Amino acid sequence: MQPKEINPFEIEPRLKPDRLPQHIAIIMDGNGRWAKRLGVQRIMGHKSAVQAVRESVESTAELGIPFLTLYAFSSENWARPKTEVNALMQLLVQTIRKEVRKLDENGIRLNAIGNINQLPKDCQKELLQAIEITKSNTHLTLTLALSYGSRQDLLQAFQLMAYEIQNGNLSLEDLSIETISSHLSTADLPDPELLIRTSGEYRISNFLLWEIAYSELYITSKMWPDFRRQDLYDAIIDYQSRERRFGKTSEQIHRAD
């Protein structure tokens, strides 16, 4: 995942450096269908997807975008066949072990959200070691959503706030949008401005439901294993062509400018 010594704005002059999103989130979808289309086992789709992850991380770092969040394994994915889940967990261990040195060398901090305790012990160990090794890096925060579900995250936040109210550490008058956000696992991350979903599916799949309230959505029919640097550029270019109004009118936005 080592960023190359290239200028992405020379490679893709349509990119506007002053209008880059600060946080991109990606629903990495289509590995299984990619494998089925080629007549190979589903795990081959997951293995082939590692290159898409690598290019997305490299491209984000090259552009100077400080936050990238990848939906790697949902809380619902545990219901998949055990052989596939086991293979995915093994692939996770191998990938983290292989890439952590490059992440550290390039100033990339690894972060994770989700019910990490549900992961196999070797996955937890590898992940936590990589998080510790890269914790001081500031160029890019790469967050992996693992055993993650947004409804579950919201439920845990509400339970924590209820507990704090019950114990007198929080009052009903203190509840606000900011209070809820501060109790989520994403409390240290800005809300994503751009959410990308691959494979042409038009759904959110229980991913960052609270955080994407005003995110721009970009859906591509390309399967995740085929997603490359130019595909990320295209998503950003599309994002930059939009007017983000946050409930206001165009006239109000332009007057503010």
Give the catalytic positions in this structure: 29, 77
**CB-CB contact of 137 with 67 (8 Å):** no
Q: Is 39 helix (H, G, I), strand (E, B) or coil?
A: coil
Give residues with Cβ within 8 angstroms of 19, minimum separation 6: 240
Longest dimension (CA), the chain: 59
Q: What is the Cα–Cα distance from 174 to 138, expressed in whole angstroms? A: 32
Token pair of 217, please? Answer: 């959505």
Q: What is the Cα–Cα distance from 244 to 138, expressed in whole angstroms? A: 27
Give residues with Cβ within 8 angstroms of 186, minimum separation 6: 69, 113, 143, 153, 208, 211
Phi, psi of 90 (to 5 degrees): -65, -40
